[in-house]
């Protein structure tokens, strides 16, 4: 069992920055990938960015050039710059370990004036 725990969400003005963190606790061996997803009200959950154990990354076109995903040990980060109101959503950390997906509880990101 592995448990993702997110932190760093909050209220930010348009154009501002925020860094989300996700810590993997529990049995952390065998982690293949860690990523960030988001879900806005009435919308389907979508991939934001993901990074593999080998360091390769993939991200949504809507966040390219603005968001950066990175890893350090059992931590994954999402640096969010130039935030837009449409980035408002609950952001979830997902850990892929031994063929199973583990989801965090989510952290709210609100971009508004």
Using pLDDT thresholds of 50, 70 and 90, give the confidence band for residue 103.
very high
CA distance 63 to 25: 27
User: How big is the chain, counted in residues?
Assistant: 113
Which of 29, 88, 38, 83 has its CA nearest to residue 59?
38
Report pLDDT digits (tens) over 17-60.
999 999 999 888 899 999 999 999 999 999 999 999 999 999 99
């Amino acid at each position: 069992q592995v448990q993702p725990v997110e932190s760093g969400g909050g209220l930010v003005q348009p154009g501002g920055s925020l860094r989300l963190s996700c810590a993997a606790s529990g049995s952390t061996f065998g982690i293949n990938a860690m990523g960030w997803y988001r879900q806005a009200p009435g919308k389907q959950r979508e991939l934001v960015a993901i990074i593999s154990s080998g360091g390769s990354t993939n991200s949504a076109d809507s966040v390219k050039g603005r968001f950066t995903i990175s890893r350090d040990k059992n931590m994954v980060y999402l640096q969010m710059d130039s935030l837009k109101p449409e980035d408002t959503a609950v952001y979830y950390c997902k850990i892929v370990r031994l063929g199973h997906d583990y989801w965090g509880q989510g952290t709210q990101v609100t971009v508004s004036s």
